[in-house]
Amino acid sequence: MISTNQELLNEFVGESREHLTTVAEELLALEKASGADRQQRLDRLFRAVHSVKGSASLVGCHQIADLAHSLETIFDRVRQGTLAQTAHLTDGLLTGADLIRALLDDAANSNDVDIGDAIARLEGLLAESPAPHSEVAPTHALRIDLDAYVRRTGRSLTRFFADLEANGQVREPCLLLPEHDIGKGLPGGPVRYECQYTSTVPLELLAEQLRLQLTEFNAAAPEPTEPKPAEPEPAEPEPPAAEDAEPQVIARTEPASRPETERPSSVRISVQILDRLMNLAGELVLVRNQAMQAADPTDSQMRQIVQRLNGVTTDVQQVVMLTRMQPVGNLFSKFSRLVRDVSRKLGKQIELTTRGTEVELDKAILEELADPLTHLVRNCCDHGIEKPAERIAAGKVPQGHVLLHAHHEGGQIRIEVRDDGRGIDPQRVRHKALERGLKSAAELGALSDTELQALVLLPGFSTADNVTELSGRGVGMDVVRTNIEHLGGNLQIESAPGTGTCMHLRLPLTLAIIPCLTVVVGDQRYAIAQKDLEELVCLSGRVGTGKVERTHDQEVYRLRGRLLPLVRLGEVLARPEPFTAATRAEIMNRHRDQTPGLTYIAVVKVGSARFGLVVDRLLNTEEIVVKSIHPLLKPLRCYSGSTIMGDGRVVLILDIEGVARHAGVSFEDARQAPPVRGAGGTESQTVLLFQYGPREQFAIPVVMIRRIEEIRVSRIERVGDREFWNLHGQAVRVLRLDNYLKVSPPVESDTMYLLLPKNLRQPMGILLSRILDTQSLAIQIDTESHHQDGLMGTAIIHDRMTLFPHLYRLGERMEAEDRAASETQNRKAPARRKRILLVEDTQFFRQVVKSTLEDEGYEVLTAVNGALGLREISRNQYDLVVSDINMPEMDGWDMARAVREQLGNHELPMLALTTLSSDRDRNRALESGFNAHEVKLARESFLATVARLLAPGGATAGEEGKHG
């Protein structure tokens, strides 16, 4: 048992795993590299194993150190060019790295493992692989002043001669002072050394290894034209350089000390701490929800506090989520080795390409995704890619190709696993399904080719004729699909026989905090994840009339020409047994003659299929913290989790696919209309159709809508000529279209709708009289027929001219009117508005401070961190800089210091605006270069200081002059 401090041992294990990942990646890439790229990769490999060896020796893991030393020796020989890299050598090196990784799993007991055979195999590789070419080794002549060399490097003579011999063969004896024994050290005077030796090591690399000056070499034969490699890591810690050491040596062995303000770019944090942070952020979200519900909307002070809490909570949630996010490249990098090993075992030529490796996923999802993705990649290599002879006969290149591609799509992550192999033959699938009794001949005859290909996802299905080590065991794709769905995602297959197959995976970014719609059935509330929700439809009146129809034993709703299967959530919750045809018929008959009140259909999706979930009421959408479900409820497939709402009540989260399975939803009768395209093949987009006045029809693309609220007009608050709606503690400005566009006034009623657009600078909602429908249409907006400031254009929808409001332009006009009114009221009409740069990373404070300054008539530009702020200051003229302190990239202290020292700008007034309020913080801000220090949200004091700093001579009075 190793007695090293456990914390140090854990640090060693984590760091060594990173180095071993580098070894695996670089080794595989090295097989295809050449020239300078090859030399750089060899240097990185050498440094990685060298670091593992050194760290292992430090913590007492001697077996790991010995293995790393053997790998280091081989890499060094390959780097010098005296050992050829072959596939067999790469296999041996990868096996050695795997053994080190296995020892790291129990590093404390690693010294008890016998590694003699592994060391012997690695040493055998040195003899098995000859030099890559038999070129004549160049002869070098070396003349060196040993006295100066020893003083400069701190190395002993014995070590110098041993290193020299190790890198070549001495051809002529050393010439020293007569009868001098080098083992006894240096004589009183300078010692000159001269010899000739041969070596295939490039001259520059040899100089770096021996730590010599190139001027001390004379080449007696032409040198190979190798690029200069990166400097190798020293083999041992080096002593401090002597006072007369040359500058380049000092820079290499003893880096200059870092300034006090420099901080490490990253730190290691345990997973337990990150999980704890995630839980605390979730609890903060719950507290935020409770505060927003409990706050009195008429209390303006409380409303501001809740609004601030909402902004801070959102920022904390986003930052904590970032700590759990990891690039998918961490997972993708493991498959290069897998594809290489599988292709060699199967006698195939397969190349793997990865794209989108920078896309990030929650750590928990990434870990759970490893097994399903491994199975899919292995299937591509085994089932998909053909052998070279078969590919050539089919007119393809001998080498197959597998692509792993990750990208963002619709708020989720989409991962494609694509190959250019033989594809899935629908007829072969039909034959196998019939042979295994998974479907009847009649059922198979009714399936399309795409539906037949999807049968490979059924339990027990396999197209393999023989059971092999890789496939044909009857367990696979159904498990992959189950695991993907467990993560809240879905799996779809796209295949063309003879061309290839693509597996489409859609996954949520995170499982911890998700947006949901809360619905009510009876007196119970349930949550539907927004990722499962397509749209909402209001349903009222007699069920047996209108758009509700029946086909066999299934209720369907005709939605824009498509038949949507209906599931009554109340019936699902009341019946613990899965529905049969008789159950569905009974439910349909029960509701045939009933006259319900107002009900709603939540159009939800399972993969590419849709069905309608009938509920009694809709509440609202909000972000919820997902809690694991109680073990007693896990057998109920209708629930995927639970959450605690703002009022403290527990709400179950519906598993939409589980609900569909329980209800036995049949999608076969839902005739899906083909996607709508324009004459030129234009893709369709979904728009919301609505009315404001009685004459016009309006439309807004759904992607521009954040949410829609049903409101009571009597509760709209009026401040002067402005109207506001209190949305969960936030004052939202109400915009009436007839105030900005030449359209008819609204159809007034007590109940109307408020549409909140996305990405506006100020919270604004557009008042709607009536929501007509949502449509997926291939439209081209006409910008010529009807011009108005605030309109994007028009289009003909359902034979009616439809107006498309320009949401952002309307917001700009509203803000401009507000500023003009404020300037008129305050009689502020300066010839030139003062220009202020606001540097603030928190969106909430950035918006609040910006609005506060703009209300006073200042022109405000923003930057989200100190580095961007410094760049703005260097490029543009500003009258004042207002900056936060704690920011990413560069904080406020460093930015102010850089403005004064780096840019040499001592005249620009700078104000620190921060939550840090102690005297120590104030003094530090002034010493860094700020002219003044103010605490956030102290509005009157802040504006007074801004006015003082902008006044002539204002930056040199009182405390403001301390920056010097």
Residue 692 is classified by DSSP as: S
Q: Residue 875, Cβ neighbours under 10 Å: how many? A: 7
Same domain, 298 and 340: no
CA angle 310-316-322, nearest 5°? 140
CA distances from 375 to 338, 381, 503, 816 (A): 11, 10, 11, 58
Helix (H, G, I), strand (E, B) or coil at 577: coil
Same domain, 954 and 840: yes
Residue where a domain stops, chosen among 788, 814, 840: 814
Same domain, 425 and 545: no
Number of domains in the chain: 7
Q: Where are the beta strands (DSSP E) in 778-879?
A: 791-797, 800-805, 835-839, 859-863
Same domain, 937 and 953: yes
880 — pLDDT class (breaks 50, 70, 90): very high
Is it the case that residue 408 has pLDDT exceeding 80?
no
Is it the case that residue 159 has pLDDT exceeding 70?
no
Residue where a domain stops, chosen among 324, 353, 385: 324
This model's pTM is above 0.75 = no
Q: What is the mean pLDDT of residues 538-557?
A: 64
Task: Return the structure tokens found at 731.
Answer: 């004052």
pLDDT averaged over the chain? 76
Closest CA to 625 of 520, 533, 708, 510: 510
**Residue 434 within any structural domain of the chain:** yes
pLDDT for residue 201: 65
Q: pLDDT tens across 57-76, in order?
A: 777 888 888 888 888 888 88
**Residue 244 within any structural domain of the chain:** no
Distance CA 273, CA 163 (A): 47
CATH at residue 625? 2.40.50.180
Q: pLDDT tens across 108-128, in order?
A: 888 888 888 888 888 888 766
Is it the case that residue 447 has pLDDT exceeding 80?
no
Same domain, 790 and 868: no
Is it the case that residue 544 has pLDDT exceeding 50?
no
**Residue 770 within any structural domain of the chain:** yes
Is it the case that residue 760 has pLDDT exceeding 60?
yes
SS (H, E, C) 306-354: HHHHHHHHHHHHHHHHHHHEEECHHHHCCHHHHHHHHHHHHCCCEEEEE
Same domain, 876 and 847: yes
Same domain, 578 and 533: yes
Residue where a domain stops, chosen among 128, 156, 187: 128
Helix (H, G, I), strand (E, B) or coil at 653: strand
pLDDT for residue 315: 79
Task: Return the structure tokens found at 77.
Answer: 């020989």
Distance CA 2, CA 452 (A): 58
Is it the case that residue 468 has pLDDT exceeding 80?
no
CATH at residue 430? 3.30.565.10
Q: What is the mean pLDDT of residues 628-653?
A: 78
Q: Which of 239-248, 766-775, 840-849 has the lowest mean pLDDT?
A: 239-248
Closest CA to 638 of 567, 735, 535: 567
Listed ranges 455-464, 671-680, 691-700; the one with the highest mean pLDDT = 691-700
Q: pLDDT tens across 469-526, in order?
A: 555 434 467 778 877 877 777 788 888 888 899 998 888 776 666 778 899 998 899 9
pLDDT for residue 244: 34
**Residue 276 within any structural domain of the chain:** yes
**Residue 190 within any structural domain of the chain:** yes
Q: Quick one: what percent of the chain has pLDDT higher than 90?
A: 9
pLDDT for residue 252: 26
Distance CA 501, CA 507 (A): 20
Torsion angle of the four alpha carbons 420, 425, 428, 429, in this order, in degrees rounded to the nearest 10: 100
CB of 565 within 8 A of CB of 556? yes
Same domain, 605 and 736: no
Range of the domain at 315: 272-324
- Residue scoring higher pLDDT (201 or 396): 396
Same domain, 417 and 546: no
Listed ranges 23-37, 252-266, 795-809; the one with the highest mean pLDDT = 795-809
964 — pLDDT class (breaks 50, 70, 90): very low
**Residue 232 within any structural domain of the chain:** no
Closest CA to 534 of 599, 612, 600, 598: 612
Task: Return the structure tokens found at 825.
Answer: 């009221």
**Residue 133 within any structural domain of the chain:** no
Residues 6+ apart with CB under 8 A from 828: 822, 856, 857
Q: Quick one: what percent of the chain has pLDDT higher than 70?
A: 74
Q: What is the mean pLDDT of residues 919-937?
A: 85
419 — pLDDT class (breaks 50, 70, 90): very high
Is it the case that residue 642 has pLDDT exceeding 50?
yes
Q: What is the mean pLDDT of residues 457-467?
A: 63
CB of 640 within 8 A of CB of 657? no
Distance CA 744, CA 695 (A): 7
230 — pLDDT class (breaks 50, 70, 90): very low
Same domain, 582 and 558: yes
Residues 6+ apart with CB under 8 A from 161: 174, 182
Is it the case that residue 839 has pLDDT exceeding 90?
yes
Distance CA 765, CA 807 (A): 10
Q: What is the mean pLDDT of residues 295-312?
A: 79
Distance CA 66, CA 111 (A): 10
Angle between helices 87-105 and 116-128 (to 10 degrees): 160
pLDDT for residue 121: 84
DSSP string, 748-764: --SEEEEEEESS-SS-E
Q: Give every strand in the sheet of 835-839, ordered side by side.
A: 859-863, 835-839, 880-883, 910-914, 932-935
**Residue 709 within any structural domain of the chain:** yes
Same domain, 398 and 487: yes
Distance CA 494, CA 449 (A): 10
838 — pLDDT class (breaks 50, 70, 90): very high
Q: pLDDT tens across 813-837, in order?
A: 888 887 777 666 665 444 578 999 9
- Length of the chain, in residues: 964
Q: Which of 335-349, 580-594, 742-756 has the lowest mean pLDDT?
A: 580-594
Same domain, 192 and 295: no
